[in-house]
Structure formats: structure tokens, C-alpha cells
Amino acid sequence: MFKNVFLKLLCVMIAFHYNLNLLADDANIQTVTVGKFLSLENKEESNPEIEEFRLLLAEGLKKEGFKVELSNLPHEEARKLKSDFYLDGFVRTKPNWSIFSQIYRPDTNELIDAYNQVNPLDEFPNVKIDPSEFTNDRQSQKREWIRKIIIRIKTNTKRKVKVDNLQEYVFNSEIKKHRNFTLSEEKFEQSKKDVFQILSEQNVTVASNIFREAEKQPVSVTIISEKQILLSGGRTLNDVLMIYVPGFFKVEDQDDTIAGFRGLAPDSNSKVLLLINGFNLNTEWQFGPPDSIINSMNLSYIQRIEVIRGPGSVTLGQGALLGVINIVTKDGMSFPQTNVSVGAGKDGFRSYQIQSGQRGALIEDMKAYFYISKMNYEGQKLRSEGWTRQRAYEGAEISGLEQITDPREQSVLRTNTLFGGSFYPNIAQASGNALERSKNEVILGNIEYKNLKLNTFFTNQNRDLFNFYRDRNEVNNQIRHGSISYLYPLSEKINILSKFYYTQDDFGFQSHRGVTLGGTRENRYGGSSTLTWETSSNNKLAIGVEIRKYDLGQKDDNGNNFIVNRAEAASFFNPARNIASPFQVNETNKFVFTNTIQVGSIFLEDSYKISQKWDLFTALRYDKHPYWGENVSPRLGTLFSPNSQLSFRASYQEGFRGAVGVSYTGGYQKDGLLRSDNFSSVQSAQIPTVDGNGQNTIFRNIPQAKPEKMQSFELASRWKPNNKFNFDAVLFYNMIQNVIDVGVIFPTPDTFKVGRIGTDEPGDWGGYFFFRNTPGILRQGGTEVSANYQWKVLSLGISHAFVKVLGASTELHRSQYLTSDTRNPHFRAYPENISRLHLQIQAHKDLNIGINYLYNYNWFAPNGTRVAGMHMLNGAINYQINEIFSLNFSVRNLLNETKLYPINNAAGDVSLAAGTPSYETRTYWLIVRADF
């Protein structure tokens, strides 16, 4: 009932405000008042020639359908006339004829636009020009001026401040000396911000070292604006990406959420790269993008998000295999104001935030921005559905039992005889886990002075691992990051950009009762230098070097570098002292062993303009790693634009990712990680198993892992017949080989007691896991199409993403990417067809509405089971109450969808991964903001 009533009210409200706005638009172009034009020489209005061209202007406006009035009132009193536009200005008749005109909004007495028709002899006063070279045709000059004024009024029915025109024709013009123009600094700064925002939203900073324009990018890119984030109805960064990015989908796993691209959902996110302002924030030891950012609820410091769909290793190196996410933060240029906000919502949502920016207030050319925020979400009760109902909770902190009612679930009792009867510790009941429960803090600051930029970033997050089945079901992540960059212009055509950074990353686990069950620290630091050179009018070149270092296995703020699974004394037991010791566990259960990894890179990029319609681009990157060795990533392609409305791109590029750092460093002591140094000692351990034919054998030595590679071919097109509509399409074909996956050494029969392999010891579960290459090649293809239409108060976008397995070696059906069904190959836990719709409506000048819809048609569990898809509908309303206060109301899952959500794995057993109830039921929140 709530759904129907809400949707009906929403539709009525949209229709009502939309009709009002159309009526207002009709009114906006009705009446123009032409005021007095004063002579600059004597400030008198009786000049007959001035009065004549004033009448010519009125006549021209009438021919265009405007209602025109003549008035001798000054613009300060024009509001008495109830006109929509008021126009006046000045005329110089001696020595040359020039016109200086200004357009006002009478009801607010606000200067909104201007245009000057200046005689060429006055434009270049210091240049010796023979006056006889110019025909000083005043009538032609008047007609041109009338034409430009009519264009300005007709294209500005909403009467917005045109800051660029005012800057050129008023504040940088001699006319500013003749009148105290009424334009408040606040309005002017806001208008400058609007212009800057429009321009910046078209920039892409990480896909190329040469091009910034979105239409020139050599890869598939999606840009998400600040306004889109505000109206998304998404609460976390992962949510926002899934709403807007074709080819992206968030997939669940037992101990993280996976950023999936084009059908591929990698374990622990290590094959997806996340950056802030172009700086790499990925961990090297295993988990890829920091959890406190990719799953953060703090989003209002973000100016835009750039997403590369497909490999980006040519510019960014290792880890940019499947996709790249770059967060561009606000700064003093994009946010020259101060605001505070508070929020509250369903399921214990709370938020507090303050942000402030300024430019040139203290020192000219200096810009600064500061942001601090704290958010908390208590989450929803985990429902007893899907895999959560079929697996028992194995932790020590058990809070409840559930009775088994389905005979098909009786098998779980065999491993839970301790509880007896028909009761068992169901994960939903016994774990205390809550859907999406999270606490997050963010502090950010940046300063920019001329070509020097300083950035600092801090985030601290504690989040439920709601799909996990033991006590380490809360993850803690704390990031401290600082960076500096400097652009040095060697000449007009040669620039050098130098960048340096340092990141401290603390990662750990705890139980719901606060018992620390793991922690480690990684320090990351390095720098790069890139030279860009416009070698000719047709050619642009970029050359660069980069060095990165990773200090793995450091102790975190609590002095810890260990990991255990259960919150019980036995986990921390010190046999030497016969007591439970929180210190001894750091020696017996290492999370990551101490090591330093250094990666060096050099890169080259070039673009050559063959003609005005045809560009050729190429790039090459070389990376060297102390363990996996050397890798070369190429890119080659072309851009062709037969006309201004149509463009095509054809490209080839490669992405790569070596095995994660912990594979070489070692760690997960007592949890069974086998480091690569011990791969050659497996056979000597004589661990029994059976081969594919059921014959008894032993586990053999494991070859060292090579970097996983993706070869990507794309054919893209864009059609933009006008400023209102554009259509984009990309067709891609990828080949993935050397897939890095997780292998397991577990004895058959399982009664065999596994011993040490080299320097490693087995896990308490009786075996080892390790990082390996799965042999074979995976071939995939697909398409992503989108269309966007903007008209007055309406912005509409639709898209569809399709991906398909075109071929795969048999072994890959046991990998993390594909289901186990070799006869009917599908991507594992990733919907292969996803449709999206985005609707933004400016129902009133102070009211914006966002509606975002996603539908995935179906998806396949790891065991090959087909699962019906689901609808996701989010809504948001942003309302500017007055000049100070505004509110933003967001609703997630308007349709209250409760179907199971894709999960890639459940505790290593694919038979249990038929889905997770991790999609929340309807939830909402309200944020109130005050601007100062």
C-alpha cells in the first residue's frame, strides 16, 4: 500500500510542478522592457540617433514574438513594470560608435547578462590602424547588436546569471567605471562555480596523459557528477557506481563486497583499481580498493567520479585489469562556500558533516577546501534466507538458535550435534550480523597555490561482514593519505607534472562484542614524473616514470599483525605460560609477514592528428616487479569523426595483475596460506589426493604464478545531433588468460594429517590455500549502449549492458569467474543483462527529483543454478527551502524488493551459494543542509 500511495503522490507532484514550470517558462519570454541608453559623452538621453536605435531594438524583439515596452525608468525601479527582462546601457558616439548593453532581471534587480558591440578602432587603441580600412556602417553595427541581444534573451528563459559574459562585457570592460553594477559576490561566485562544474564534469584525468575531454578518451569512460550522486538514492560508493555505470555490478562475497566489471567479479577486489585525485590507494597485500572508501557512506566531498570500464593498465599499471575508479574531490575552486548538514533516517541512519572552501580570500591564487563527516547506520536484521539458512554459524559468540523446519536442511545437523534436536545456530539468528551496518568517518583537506597542490585524506570505518560465518565478522579499515603534485611549465608547449604520495593503511577484524581478531598495516609511498610535449600542431607526446614501494606486514595502531577466526580463549592461548595472551598471538598467527615490495614503471603515450577528422593514438607501459617479473602493456587505436555530430573509436589495449603481495610475503599463519617460496616443496610433503580419473596420487609442486592478462578490443561510437540528445555504444571483445585464482590443498582421505610444507604450516581446518594461475583462456564479448536526453526541466537517461561467455577452457569453470556448468557457461554471480533508467526533473527552480531504476534479468549461482533477477528503484528529492537551508530526502529500494542477491561464494562451498538476503528492504534518510 505504501508503495502505491507513494508513487501516486510522486506522480501528482511531478505533474503539478512540471506544469507550473512550463507555464512559468511561457511567461518568462513574454515581456521585455527597453530602458534608457545614455550617452557616455554627456550622460544625456535626448540624442536622436540613440533614440532611433532604441526603437530598432524594440521592433526587432517584437518580430521575434516578445511583448516589448519602452520605459524611462532606471533599472532599479523596473520591478514596478512587472517585466521579465529589462535592458539598458550606454552608447559612445565620439570618436567612434560603440554600444554597451546590460540585461537585468527586474524582480530582483539582478544583472544577468551583457553584450558590447565595440568599434574595431576602439578595440585596439594601441595599434596603428588606418581608419579608411574600416567602413563604419552604424546601421550594420546596430543590426548585429540587435541580433546578439535577441539570442541572449531567447536562450536564457530561466534568467540565469551568465557569468562568463558578465566577466567579459562588464567587469573586464571600461563600462564598469560608469555604473555600480548590482551583482552580489555570492551570486557571482555561485555562477562561476556552476560554469566550472559544467566544464569539469566533461574532464577525465586518469584514462590518458594527453587528453582530458571525455569525447577524446581512448577507453570507455563513465562520469558521475555531484548532482547525480546527490539524487542517486544510493548510500555507499558501491551503490552509486552500480546505479549509474553500465558494465558495473556490486557482487557479495563471504568477507567483502566485490566491484565487478563486464561479467567478472574478482575475489577481494584486487583486480580493480581505486584512486583519489589520480593517486593509487589500492592495497598490495591482497584486498585492492580500501574497504573504508569503496563501501563508504561519505560521498558529499566528491565532485565527480570517473570510471574506466575495462583495462587501464596502460596509464596506471598493475591492478587496473578489469576497471578503474577515480574519485575527484571538491576543492576551493569547485566549492567556494561553507555548509553544515545533519541527517537521520530509518534503521538507525545518522550523519553529521561540515565542509568549507575558499579561493583567493587570504592569498591571491590560493584555493583551499576542508571536509569532516561522521556517519552511522545500524543496518537491518539479516533474513534467514538463501545460504544464511543453510549454513550453521561456527563462531564462539552465539546469540541464538533457530529450529529447522525444512527437511532439505537436515544435513546441517550432522556438523552441529552439540546442540541436538532440530535446533542449530543459524547465521541470521546466531551471528548478530546486520545488513550493511557501518560506521564511517572522513576528514579531507586540500590546498592549491598556482601549480602546486597538497591533499590530505583520512577515513576510519567499521563495517559488518554480514555474509561471514565466524566471529571475525566486523572489518576495520583506517586510511591516512597525503599527496603533493606540481606542474612545471618548461615552455608554452612542454610541461612536467611531478607527484608524490604516502599512504598508511590499517586493516583488521573484530567480533561484535569488540574482541580484536586481526590487524595489520601496510605503508605505501612513491612518486612519478610525466612530461607532456606538444611536438607539433598535429602531435602530442607524454613520457613518464613511476616508482612505488609497499611495506607489508607492519604493526597497526594497536601493535597487532595477526589473524584468528574465533573469539575464544583457545585462539589466544600461550602454552608456554598456560594463559591466554593477546601478545603471543602476534607471533603464532601472523596476518602478513614483514616485507617490502618495490615496483618501477616507465610509460609513453602519443597522439597524432592525421586530419581534422582522424586521430591516431598509441601508448606503452613497462612495469617491473621483484617477484612476478616484467610486463608490457600496449594500447593502439584511432578516433574518427566524419562530422561534428558523429564519432567512432576503435582500440586495442591490455590490462594485467600479478599475484597479490601476501602470496610472496606469506601470512595467514595457522589459517593455511602457502607462500610462493614453498610451491616447490609441495610434492615432498606426500599429501594424498585423487586425480580426475579417481586414481590415487599426491599433490604435485605448484608453478609460480604469472600476471593475469586481459586483451581488450573495443569499437565505440557517439552520435550527438544536438545539445539535447546523445547516443553512445561500445562493442567489446576480451581474452583473459593466466587467471589468478585460489587453489586448495586438502587431503583425500580427509583423515590424513597434513604437516608443514617448507616454512609454512597448515590451517586449523586441515589444509592450505594458495594463489595460482588457472590454465586456459576465457573469451567474452558484449555491448553497452546508452542514450541521454535533456529538455528544459527534464533529464532522461537509459542504458543496457550485455555480456556473454564466448568460450572458455574446461579448467576455468572451476575458477572465480565462471559457473561449474561447462555445458551452459555463464558468469558466476554476475547478471549478464542489466537495464538502467535515470530521470531527473527540475519540478521547480528550487525542487529537483531523481528517480533511478535498475533491473537485472537473471544471474547464475556458482553451481550453475539460474536465479531470477530483481528490480531496484531508488528515489531522491532535493529542495532549496531558502537561501540558507536545503534538504535532501532519499529512498532506497522503493519497490521493497526482497529477492536473493548475487553472492560469489559462501565459505568456499559453491553448493551453498544460491544467493544472500543482503539486499535491504525499503529504507530512507533525510539530510538537512545550511549554507553560509
Q: What is the pLDDT of residues 154-198, one digit of tens each?
A: 878 778 888 778 878 887 787 877 777 755 555 555 555 554 454
* Together in a domain, 110 and 232: no
Residues 148 and 73 in one domain: yes
Nearest residue to 117 (alpha-carbon basis) of 147, 95, 94 = 147
129 or 588, greater pLDDT: 588
pLDDT at 26 over 90: no
- For residues 642-665, give the mean pLDDT: 95
pLDDT at 41: 74
Q: Is 758 left (phi over 0), alpha (psi -120 to 50) or beta?
A: left
Q: Is residue 421 part of a domain?
A: no
Higher pLDDT pick, 122 / 751: 751
Residue 405: pLDDT band (50, 70, 90) is low
pLDDT at residue 50, rounded to an integer: 78
Q: What CATH number corresponds to the domain at position 846?
A: 2.40.170.20
Contact 291, 461 (CB under 8 A): yes
CA angle 112, 118, 121 (to 5 degrees): 160
Q: How far apart are the first and last CA of the chain?
A: 41
pLDDT, mean of residues 53-81: 82
| pLDDT score of 202 | 61
Considering the domain architecture, whether residues 503 and 647 belong to the same structural domain is answered as: yes
Higher pLDDT, 256 or 45: 256
pLDDT at 268: 81
Confidence (pLDDT) at 401: 75
Is residue 204, in this structure, part of any structural domain at all?
A: no
- What is the distance between the alpha carbons of residues 240 and 227, in angstroms, rounded to a whole number? 12
Nearest to 320 by CA among 356, 280, 291, 358: 280
pLDDT value for 201:
55
Q: Which of 154, 181, 208 is the last residue of a domain?
A: 181
Q: Comparing C-alpha atoms, which of 222, 186, 503 is closest to residue 337?
A: 186
Helix axes 48-63, 138-154, angle to 10 degrees: 40
Sorted by sequence, the CB contacts under 8 Å of residue 239 that are 6+ apart come out as: 232, 250, 892
Q: Give the integer Cα–Cα distance in Å for 327 and 282.
A: 13
Distances from the Cα of 449 to the Cαs of 5, 194, 309, 491, 671, in angstroms? 53, 22, 33, 20, 50
Q: Are residues 602 and 467 in the same domain?
A: yes
271 lies in the same domain as 142: no
For residue 193, is it within any domain?
no
More confident residue, 159 or 465: 465
At 525, the pLDDT band (50, 70, 90 cuts) reads: very high
Whether 199 is covered by a domain: the verdict is no
- Comparing C-alpha atoms, which of 794, 881, 725 is closest to residue 15? 794
Residues 162 and 285 in one domain: no
Higher pLDDT, 48 or 446: 446
Q: How far apart are alpha carbons 21 and 843 in whole angstroms? A: 7
Taking the C-alpha atoms of residue 53 and residue 46, their distance in angstroms, rounded to an integer, is 13
Indicate the average pLDDT of the chain.
Answer: 86
pLDDT for residue 46 is more than 80: no
- The residue-averaged pLDDT of 255-277 equals 91
Mean pLDDT is highest, among 358-372, 738-752, 793-807, for 793-807
pLDDT at residue 119 greater than cutoff 90: no
Q: Domain span at residue 165?
A: 28-181
Whether residue 863 has pLDDT greater than 90: no
pLDDT of residue 128: 45
Q: What is the pLDDT of residues 349-366, one digit of tens each?
A: 999 999 999 887 778 789
pLDDT at 160: 80
Last residue of a domain, one of 128, 154, 181: 181
| Domain co-membership, 287 together with 365 | yes
Beta-strand pair 85-92/31-39: parallel
What residues have CB less than 8 Å from 387, skipping those under 6 apart?
467, 903, 906, 912, 913, 914, 915, 916
- Assess if residue 355 is contained within a domain: yes
Is 197 a domain residue?
Answer: no
Residue 672: closest CA among 686, 682, 680: 682
Q: Is the pLDDT of residue 573 over 70?
A: no
Task: Note whether 758 and 806 are same-domain residues.
Answer: yes
String of DSSP letters for 846-865: TEEEEEEEEEEEEEE-TTS-
Is 1 a member of any domain?
no
**3-class SS string, 569-588:** HHHHEECCCCEECCCCHHHH
pLDDT of residue 124: 45
Query: Which three cell numbers, joined as nine digits, stand for 654?
Result: 591490455
Helix then strand then coil, % of the chain, to nearest 5: 20, 45, 35
Chosen domain end from 120, 153, 181: 181
* Residue 137 and residue 280 in one domain: no
Alpha carbon 771 to its chain centroid, in Å, reads: 29
Q: Are 926 and 343 in contact (CB under 8 A)?
A: yes
Segment of 212-216, 421-425, 637-641 carrying the highest mean pLDDT = 637-641
pLDDT of 543 higher than 60: yes
Q: What is the pLDDT of residue 576?
A: 55
* Measured distance CA(336)–CA(343) in Å, rounded: 23
* DSSP state letters, 188-230: HHHHHHHHHHHHHTTB-SSS-SS--BGGG-SS-EEEEEHHHHH
- Least confident range from 71-85, 422-436, 526-540, 677-691: namely 71-85
- Is 251 in the same domain as 124? no
% of residues, the chain, pLDDT over 70:
88
Let me know if residue 191 belongs to a domain.
no
Element holding 328 (H helix, E strand): strand 323-329
121 and 249 inside one domain: no
pLDDT in tens, 717-742: 999 998 889 999 999 999 999 999 99
* pLDDT reading at 127 higher than 90: no
Task: Give the pLDDT confidence score for residue 421 in this predicted structure.
Answer: 58
> Which sign, positive or negative, has the C-alpha torsion 70, 75, 79, 84?
positive
Do 641 and 500 have their domain in common?
A: yes
Please give the Cα distance from 172 to 184 (Å, whole number).
Answer: 16
Is 329 within 8 Å of 368 (Cβ atoms)?
Answer: no
Q: Does residue 407 have a pLDDT over 90? A: no
How many domains is the chain built from?
A: 2
Mean per-residue pLDDT for 906-913? 62
Q: pLDDT value at position 522?
A: 97
Please report the pLDDT score of residue 400 as a whole number.
75
Residue 80 belongs to domain with CATH number: 3.40.50
How much is the pLDDT for 482? Answer: 97
How far apart are alpha carbons 447 and 455 in whole angstroms? 7
Global pTM exceeds 0.85: no
